[in-house]
Amino acid sequence: MGSYILGRIIQLIPVLFLISVIVFGIMHLLPGDPALLMLAGAEGGAIPPERLAQLREQMGLNDPLLVQFWHFISGAVVGDLGESLRFREPVLAMILDRLGSTVELAVAGLFCSLLIGVPLGILASVRQGGWIDTICMTLSYLGASLPVYWLGLILVFFFAFNLGWFPSSGGGSIEQLILPALSLGLINAGLIARLVRSSMVEVLGEDYMRTGRAKGLPPRLLLWRHGIKNAMIPVVTMVGLQFGNMLAGTVVTETVFSRPGVGRLIVNAIIAKDYPLVQGAVLLLAVIYVSVNLLVDILYAFLDPRIRYGR
Amino acid sequence: MADSAPMAVAAGLPAIEPEAEIRRPWRDAWRRFLAHRGGLVGLVILLLWIFIAIAAPLIAPYDPNALAGRARQAPSLLHWFGTDQLGRDLFSRVLHGSRISLALGVISVGFGLVPGVALGLAAGYFGGWVDALISRFVDAMLAFPSIILALIIIATLGPGIFNVMVAVGIAAIPEYARLMRGSVLAVKSQPYVEAAWLVGNKPFRIMVRHIFVNANAPLLVFTTLQIGNAILVGAGLSFLGLGAQPPTAEWGLMSSEGRQFLQRAWWISAFPALATLTVVIAFNLLGDGLRAGLDPKLRAR
């Protein structure tokens, strides 16, 4: 097991390197001049060429690309992601300040989607073609097609404005977490339910289930011990991928609910042309996402011994 | 899908020989598609939206950007969806918004499909170091949730609806590449590919004429679903203020403009969002219907 974990961590290094190459590559190779964008955003009107040249020099945009990349990656390795152009603060500190709130939202959203999706998927698989199955299917279509901002607005309209149960915006308290988490969770619950359902359907058709039935195990025990337990294994992998969806979803959700967080930070930074801030925040989110998936893979190897002995 | 016969010709399928067993893969696929009612529903909704997008200036009762009355009027016979925060007719704006959304779906998918398919074909066909190089990059790009990837691209290009199309498209490149690579690997070892190589065809020709045309069923399904997804993500980015700018009649932007009037005038954000929902659900239903039609194995599910 130890060598498996170590192997997976070592595999992570080239991925992290490539992620930074991609972030850097997109921001530097695509047509679009950050200095020009910044000046247009900050000052507007006609931009004096000497001012542009000065800013380009200041931002190091005149250095060869490889030199710029070296500055970027050597900084990133030691946690120096540069300084925000707008706030004159270290990017890493700004992100870490808001990361807690975003992770809290993503985890709560994931929890909601599992809480709704897993039981729904199990029930749908046990009674295939029944009304729960229909709900499961409808929810998965709605989840894949509903704009997440609208679901947020609907929740605000009913639960904050009309019923007054929860506040409509802000962050920090549990009450303020519920609506955003619910909107993220509901969107993804259908996907989870569908996955759980298909995994369950597969397990229910296995030989050991038939054997269990034949030897007279109580149906409930059979379902729990042999059915659900085995069906959950592939779901674990999905949770890692879902966490990425949740992180991405926070970008919109945080804006709808005016919650402080990394997602909103990125959006505001894009509007304000705060280049280093965008770059750093995106890089950090990708690193978190990859690390979570690594953890999930390791967990998976714990749950399913075939994985670690198979290789 | 009405033109299934020409598609069969374009796909290079063998002509029907009288003595051989008659096989009509496209007709069978069409039949299976019809049997999947959801797909048909999706197709009908989608055709309706395409009609609306084309005919918007003719069927919209008002000019989408002109003031049509008092601001924030509730839905009525005069203004079916009410009026927005400035007093423009919301129904007309929603109809016009379909143009941007459908264009966004199609154009952005083009930006993802073309490079993605090329990369996937190359990786799958050449194998070796080409595959290793492309696959590593694709894996790394997949490490970004696609909206995050789109966000960095917009950060570089600057906000705007066209840039959103480009960004959402580029963000889909890795998924296209992965899909295409898988399909190529499945088809590559078929005897007809070897035969094509043996009679001296160049790799490019083999890739296009023999591999691509035989591996495009999953691609068609994915593209359909991806158009819906692109519309959804694009509307989300416009909602955030990174896409269409006022006074454009764009659904995401309209929903965002209605946000501050949610309590008193829910319709301003609700109807554009409902429109987004119906278009995206149409693409999702259609995609699943196509899958049912094109992949008989999945039908048994």
- The answer to whether B108 touches B169, Cβ cutoff 8 Å, is yes
Confidence of residue A116 (pLDDT cuts 50, 70, 90): very high
* Percent helix / strand / coil, chain A, rounded to 5: 80, 0, 20
Query: What percentage of chain B has pLDDT greater than the value 70?
Result: 90
Q: Is the pLDDT of residue B6 over 60?
A: no
Interval B218-238 mean pLDDT: 93
Which DSSP string corresponds to A102-150?
HHHHHHHHHHHHHHHHHHHHHHHHHTTTSHHHHHHHHHHHHHHHS-HHH
| Measured CA distances, A212 to A109, A233, B232, B265 (Å) | 36, 20, 45, 58
pLDDT (mean) for B285-301: 73
Per cent of chain A over pLDDT 90 is 17
pLDDT over 60 (residue A107): yes
Say if residues B267 and B144 touch (Cβ distance below 8 Å): no
B177/A75: higher pLDDT: B177
Beta bridge partners of B88: B67
Say which residues have a Cβ less than 8 Å from residue B253's Cβ, sequence separation at least 6: B238, B239, B241, B243, B244, B245, B246
Per-residue confidence band for A220, with pLDDT thresholds at 50, 70 and 90: confident
* Domain extent listing, chain B: 24-52+90-294
What pLDDT does residue B1 have? Answer: 39
- Whether cis (ω within 30° of 0) applies to the bond prior to A64 is no
B154 interfacial to chain A (CB closer than 8 Å): yes
pLDDT band at A311 (very low <50, low <70, confident <90, very high): very low
pLDDT over threshold 80, residue B56 = yes
Predicted local confidence at residue B18, as pLDDT: 52
Residues constituting chain A: 311
Q: Smallest CA–CA separation between B289 and chain A, in Å?
A: 13
Interface check for B148 against chain A (CB to CB < 8 A): the answer is yes
State the pLDDT at residue A310: 54
Q: Which residues of B touch A149 (CB under 8 A)?
A: 236, 239, 252, 255-256, 273
How far is A106 from chain B, CA to nearest CA, in Å? 13
pLDDT > 90? residue B254: yes
Among the listed residues B218, B221, B241, B249, the one whose alpha carbon sits nearest the alpha carbon of residue B84: B249
Predicted confidence (pLDDT) per residue in A6-31, tens digit:
888 888 888 888 888 888 888 877 77
d(CA A237, CA A108): 18
* pLDDT at site B294: 82
B270 touches chain A (CB under 8 A): yes
| More confident site: B98 or A232 | B98
**How much is the average pLDDT of B149-167?**
90
Tell me the CA distances in angstroms from A71 to A66, A82, A302, B141, one per residue in order: 9, 10, 39, 22
**Could you tell me the fold of the domain covering A94-303?**
MetI-like fold (1.10.3720)
Q: How far apart are CA A243 and CA A106, in angstroms?
A: 7
Reference A159, options A177, A137, A140; nearest CA is A177
Question: Helices B161-171 & B173-188, crossing angle to 10 degrees?
Answer: 40
A residues 130..189 contacting B (CB < 8 A):
141-142, 144-150, 153, 156-157, 161
Contact list, A27 vs chain B (CB under 8 Å) = 152, 155-156
ipTM of the complex, rounded to two decimals: 0.85
**Count of C-beta atoms within a 10 Å radius of residue B238:** 30
User: Which residue, B111, B136, B154, B178, is CA-closest to A19?
Assistant: B136
pTM of the model: 0.87
Structure token pair of residue B191: 């005897």
Q: How far apart are CA A141 and CA B298, in angstroms?
A: 18
CB B219 within 8 A of CB B117: yes
pLDDT value of position A154: 92
Distance CA A168, CA A179 (A): 8
Q: Given pLDDT bands bounded at 50, 70 and 90, which one contains residue B3?
A: very low
Q: What was the pLDDT predicted at B36?
A: 80
Q: Is the dihedral of CA A35, A37, A38, A42 positive or negative?
A: positive
pLDDT at A129 over 70: yes
- Angle at the Cα of B270 from the Cα atoms of B265 and B275, rounded to 5 degrees: 145
pLDDT at residue B21, rounded to an integer: 59
Window 9-28 of A, Cβ < 8 Å to B: 14-15, 18-19, 21-23, 26-27
pLDDT-derived band at B226 (thresholds 50, 70, 90) equals very high
d(CA B155, CA A266): 9
**R_g over Cα of chain B:** 22
Of B197 and B273, more confident: B273
Q: Looking up tokens 């530097």, which residue turns up?
A: A28
Per-residue pLDDT at B16: 52
3-state secondary structure of B33: helix
CA separation for the pair A183, A106 (Å, rounded): 11
Do residues A217 and A211 touch, judged by C-beta distance below 8 A?
no
- What amino acid occupies position B196? A
Q: Note the pLDDT of residue B32.
A: 83
- B301 to chain A, closest Cα gap in Å: 9
Q: In the block, which residue shows the tokens 């005149």?
A: A62
Instruction: Grade residue A299 by pLDDT with cuts at 50, 70 and 90.
Output: confident
Structure tokens at A158: 């009913």
User: Residue B99 above 50 pLDDT?
Assistant: yes
Residue B14: which pLDDT band, with cuts at 50, 70 and 90?
A: low
CATH class of B24-52+90-294: mainly alpha
Q: Which residue has the higher pLDDT, B47 or A216?
A: B47
Q: Measure the N-to-C terminal CA separation of chain A; round to a whole number of Å.
A: 11
Give the separation between CA A233 and CA A231, rounded to whole angstroms: 6
Cβ contact, residue pair A153, B273, below 8 Å: yes
Question: Using CA atoms, how far apart are residues B7 and A254, in angstroms rounded to an integer?
Answer: 46
Average pLDDT over residues A126-136: 85
State the pLDDT confidence band at A63, using cuts at 50, 70 and 90.
confident
Per-residue pLDDT at B22:
65
Nearest in space to B170 (alpha carbons), one of B223, B117, B112, B231: B112
| Tokens read off for B251 | 């659904």
Q: Chain A contact for B37, CB < 8 A?
A: no
Q: Which of B143, B259, B269 lies at the smallest CB-CB distance from A286?
A: B143
Tell me what the mean pLDDT of segment B104-114 comes to. 94
Give the pLDDT confidence score for residue B29 in this predicted structure. Answer: 81
Per-residue confidence (pLDDT) for residue A298, from 0 to 100: 83
| Mean pLDDT of all residues belonging to chain A | 84
pLDDT tops 70 at residue A32: no
A83, β-bridge pairs:
A90
CA distances from A249 to A130, A149, B1, B54, B268 (A): 31, 9, 34, 32, 23
DSSP string spanning A241-289? HHHHHHHHHHHHHHHHTT--SHHHHHHHHHHTT-HHHHHHHHHHHHHHH
Please tell me if residue B301 touches chain A, with a CB cutoff of 8 Å: yes
Average pLDDT over residues B248-261: 92
Question: A128: distance to nearest CA of chain B, Å?
Answer: 11
Q: Where in chain A is the domain with CATH 1.10.3720.10?
A: 94-303
Residues of B in contact with A252 (CB under 8 A): 236, 239-240
Which residue spans within A15-55 are E strands per DSSP? none
pLDDT number for residue A214 = 87
Least Cα separation, residue A80 to chain B (angstroms)? 19
Between A30-34, A251-255, A307-311, the lowest mean confidence (pLDDT) is in A307-311
* B236 in reach of chain A (CB within 8 A): yes
Query: Which of A36-45, A163-172, A221-230, B282-291 is modeled with the greatest confidence?
Result: B282-291
pLDDT at A8: 81
- Tens of pLDDT along A268-288? 988 887 888 888 888 888 888
Residue given tokens 């890739």 in the structure block: B207
Is a pLDDT exceeding 50 seen at residue A69? yes
Chains A, B: CB contacts under 8 A, how many? 142
